Amino acid sequence: MQELRELAKKLLLEGTVKVVIGYAEGRRGVLPIFAVTPGEAGRLIFDPRCVQNLATYLSPRREQVVALGRPAVVVKGCDARAVAGMIRESQRSRDDLVLIGVRCGGVLADPVSAVEVSEATVAARCPGCDARVPKHVDHLVGPLPPAPPGTSALDARIAELEALSPGERFAFWRSELEKCVRCNACREICPMCFCVRCVADKAQPQWIESSPHARGNFAWHMTRALHQAGRCAACGECERACPAGIPLNLLNRKIARVVAERFGYSASGDPESPAPIGTYRPEDGEEFIL
Amino acid sequence: MTREMHISEPDLRVLAEDLVRGGTRLIGPARPPGKDGAVVYREVKGLDEIVLVGDPPARSLKEFFLPPTEVLFTYRQKQGDVELAPAPHVFPPQVVLGARPCDAAAVSVVDKVMDWDYHDELWFGRRQATTIVSVACSGGDASCFCTAVGLAPDVAKGSDVLLVPVEGGFHAEILTEKGEVFVAAHATRFAAGGRSEAAMAYRAAARGKAEANLRADPAKIRAFLESSFEHPIWEGIALRCHGCGACAFVCPTCHCFDIVDEAESVATGARRRNWDTCQAAKFTLHGSGHNPRKGQDCRIRQRLMHKFAIYPGRFQEILCTGCGRCVRICPGGMDLLEMLDRIGREPAAPGEAGRGAP
Amino acid sequence: MNGGNLYQPHLVRIDEIVDETVDTRTLKLTFKDPMLAASFDFKAGQFGEYSVFGSGECTFCIASAPTRKGYLECSFKKVGRVTAAMRELNVGDTMGFRGPYGNSFPLEKMYGKSLVFVAGGIGLAPVRCVIQNALDLRDRFKDVTIICGARSVGDLVYKRELDEWAARKDVKLWQTVDPGGETGGWRGEIGFVPAIVEKARPGAIDAFAVVCGPPIMIKFALPVLNGLGFKDDAIYTTLENRMKCGIGKCGRCNIGPVYVCKDGPVFTAAEIKGLPPEF
């Protein structure tokens, strides 16, 4: 913690950055802060309650944040994958940013009531994480906690769903997506949903119905899941933000698996590594066309 | 007007069964079947499903009066001509059993705008069909602040009957004519009652608990909001806000909606109204591309002003019942209690307040 | 009220289509229900929600005058989904109409006084309603001055009405186009509307002004009118804002505490100056 605070203060005092985006203690738990003074930097913390993906604040759409000036941002491994995705897709340039990586042992599924990471309290996406020490960052702080315990409940759930018939799977997703009220929290919080004009907001033509009925919700979520294919950083924020409790992580994780099988690619923390969405290799399979 | 009675838990169980057997839709705070999801208000088949005392359900009662999507009318086109068929606005009876008082109060707050010069038949059709039996809350959690907006965990506003947990059952206050009709229809379940010390103690304890979270002066907050349109506080507050609208969608008093046409086939379709939120960038986007609320700072300001200044100015009601859902759900860590506390400490005229990041 | 609920429009038929300019079109609409056609009434300045079923609704002021019964008119440019669909409609097609909504120009207050109309571009649409209303009751007003302009000759809307007003002896009409917008044979003024207001010097004593046009025109016209002696509470304008329900419930059109659909769309310059900068 002290390491992080000293580093942040130094970066601000030297003028290397104008703002450090990190985590701090709020009235009710951890929240993101935008420290512009060394005093504010003294509030920075990092612990398993720091679930938010701060990479999303780097989107050029966020004018108030952009106006603060050159940022440093505190990133876990999953967050760093999102930053890499934004750089890879030309939303930010690497020189524009200072990345402060934090070594991570998993975050809490419920950061308000739980305090320590255990098999019962850890977030479902954390077990098995291979990015606990973020690479491709400018600084690395914090001790390395033990690996998140247990195995991912997500994989178990995906296996259950894969064992169902297509009809049963459809019924499952229908009942989940019916709960959606189209608040777009999943989209607004996602670092990779940075389109200034989302396809769902287009009215001419209206590709995706905006009403929160089963049909419109399906169109929205399937489209978003496919637009995230190969790009999703698996940070889990969409599911955390969803006020209807829809298990969006399952969709994104399944599609990431398909991308890995087909293209041998998983979202990477290295902005230089080419992603399937923008790269062609002669050996890419074409059986879905022919 | 208020009559006091008593109902035991077994009697309440039978009452619930009677309602369901009689074809009345029973709604209460309950977990979704088979999953350990959050408690929400949903249709239930018996008292056992209902979580009578606890934190507010994840969503509010709003969706039973203003559904997330609602058909206004359908249209059929033939050869340049059009036929319209209105959506019905008489609804089958339903009873909410176990409403939190903050949610019941919210429904009556929104009644004001729904009746402003034009009477919204769809909203009031559902209102007419619904009896609200609330259960006094035990004081909520750290995100509740009903007392700060002039309400309380045991407030009567908006409820037809208020149940207060006591040993073996509930003290029942019958608050409205509809409440009288409800109790009369199930008269055998209720016993005579009177002042209950246990109920009063429960209510006092609940109020004390809620008050501890936030003390605010709504008049002072309104005065600040009405004079601080261009205050630097908005920029700082807006930084962490994602503009996602989750707050608006779980909020019991947020009622803003969109109206869209949707085709079902080449010649038929429906006009619907859907939940919408002032937090979305395109809420005020003109066709020309001009957006009067271009940044998140403008939009968060609108949210606070609408709730704590504009609506009170127009309807003498705060468009917030302190349920705390926005705080619990916000993925960006926005905290209305913190914001209100902060604003309450600002001088009414813009001073040298800082940038505003708490 | 309406056939079904608050949000269900009345059916109207398109009786006439006039292309005012390359991009601005006027539709003349009559209610399909003959009783409604006979009884429908509104006041100058009010607006309606016009439907193209399947595409949606759009907000326009009623561009025709309430003194002319049996029909109503709206003028629009193709800007988005609904207006694009409106351009595809033909005479005889059916649309929807909800209204009249909003407040109106207080013409009764202006009886016995002079009227000065200042309009730019399609801003002439809401003003045209008041002009026609006033001219239909011409003897109730003293002087009537109309100053209107557009970017170019081709952009002037309501050319038929402009010819009518030009021909009247009891109306002083100034037409102008922006410098560079004139064509050969143009005999009107050349200059931005505010400059022509300056040139026309309409009297401010016992007079009211009605102003509508692009924000930049209003911004420069108001000080000119003030300079001529028009007080802010004697200058009226009409605002537009993104709307959906038109009846104060959907929460979209407010500017600070003021709802454009309920407290407006007609406001005095004094009221506008009291509004927060949110439009």
For residue A222, the domain's CATH number is 1.10.1060
Contact A204/B at CB under 8 A: no
Nearest alpha-carbon partner for B161 in B188, B195, B184: B184
Q: Do A255 and A125 reside in the same domain of the chain?
A: no
- Paired strand residues for B171: B6, B164
What is the number of H-type helices and E-type strands within chain B? Answer: 12, 12
Q: Do A168 and A217 reside in the same domain of the chain?
A: yes
Q: Is residue A272 part of a domain?
A: no
Of the residues A87, A110, A141, which one is the last residue of a structural domain? A141
Average pLDDT of every residue of chain A = 93
* Nearest Cβ partner for B335 among A27, A237, A243: A27
Q: Is residue A282 part of a domain?
A: no
**Which tokens hold the place of A127?**
């077990």
Give the rounded percent of residues in chain A with a pLDDT score beyond 70.
100
Q: Which residues of A touch B237 (CB under 8 A)?
A: none
Average pLDDT of every residue of chain B = 92
* Nearest Cβ partner for A211 among B272, B332, B333: B272
Q: Subunits that touch chain A (at least 3 Cβ pairs < 8 angstroms)? A: B, C
Average pLDDT of every residue of chain C = 94
Question: Is pLDDT of A262 > 50?
Answer: yes
The model's pLDDT over C194-211, given as tens digits with 9 standing for 90+, comes to 999 999 999 999 999 999
The answer to whether residues A100 and A93 touch, using CB atoms and an 8 Å cutoff, is no
Q: Do A173 and A87 reside in the same domain of the chain?
A: no
Q: Which residues of A touch B239 (CB under 8 A)?
A: 34, 57, 64-65, 68
Q: Min CA distance, B269 vs chain C (Å)?
A: 6
Q: Min CA distance, C262 vs chain B (Å)?
A: 9
Domain that includes residue A210, residue range: 153-263
The model's pLDDT over A143-164, given as tens digits with 9 standing for 90+, comes to 999 999 998 889 999 999 999 9
Say if the Cβ atoms of B338 and A29 lie within 8 Å: no
Q: How many residues does chain C have?
A: 279
Parts of chain B with a pLDDT under 70: 1, 35-36, 348-358
pLDDT at B358: 36
The model's pLDDT over A200-258, given as tens digits with 9 standing for 90+, comes to 999 988 999 999 999 999 999 999 999 999 999 999 999 999 999 999 999 999 999 99
Number of domains in chain A: 2
The model's pLDDT over A71-90, given as tens digits with 9 standing for 90+, comes to 999 999 999 999 999 999 99
Kindly give the residue spans of alpha helices, DSSP state H, lying in chain C. Answer: 34-39, 81-87, 107-110, 124-136, 159-167, 193-200, 215-228, 269-273
State the Cα–Cα distance between residues B309 and C83, nearest whole angstrom. 35
pTM over 0.90: yes
Residue ranges of E strands in chain C? 10-19, 24-31, 47-52, 56-61, 72-77, 94-101, 114-120, 144-150, 172-177, 189-190, 207-212, 235-238, 254-255, 258-259, 266-268
Q: Min CA distance, C251 vs chain B (Å)?
A: 5
- Between A and C, how many residue pairs show a Cβ–Cβ distance under 8 A? 6
The answer to whether residues B297 and B234 touch, using CB atoms and an 8 Å cutoff, is yes
Of the residues A83, A113, A141, which one is the last residue of a structural domain? A141
Q: Do A6 and A137 reside in the same domain of the chain?
A: yes
Give the number of other Cβ atoms within 10 Å of residue A1's Cβ: 11
pLDDT at B357: 39
- Nearest residue in B to A23, CA atom: B333
Nearest alpha-carbon partner for A73 in A102, A48, A47, A51: A102
Give the number of other Cβ atoms within 10 Å of residue A118's Cβ: 13
**Which tokens hold the place of B264?**
């079902």
Q: Which domains does chain C have, with CATH numbers?
A: 10-101 (2.40.30.10), 107-238 (3.40.50.80)
Cα C47 to Cα A270, B221, C101, distances in angstroms: 56, 35, 5
Q: Do A34 and A87 reside in the same domain of the chain?
A: yes
- Nearest residue in C to A202, CA atom: C81
H or E stretch including A56? none
pLDDT at A289: 72
Q: Do A169 and A256 reside in the same domain of the chain?
A: yes
Q: Is residue A88 part of a domain?
A: yes
Q: Min CA distance, A37 vs chain B (Å)?
A: 11
Q: Is residue A101 part of a domain?
A: yes
Burial class (CB in 10 A: 0-12, 13-18, 19+), C169: exposed
pLDDT at B237: 87
Within 42-101 of C, beta carbons closer than 8 Å to A belong to 80-81, 84
Question: Is pLDDT of C2 > 80?
Answer: no
Q: What are phi and psi of B233, to 5 degrees?
A: -60, -30
The model's pLDDT over B156-176, given as tens digits with 9 standing for 90+, comes to 999 999 999 999 999 999 999
Q: Is residue A38 part of a domain?
A: yes
B208 contacts: CB under 8 Å, gap ≥ 6: B139
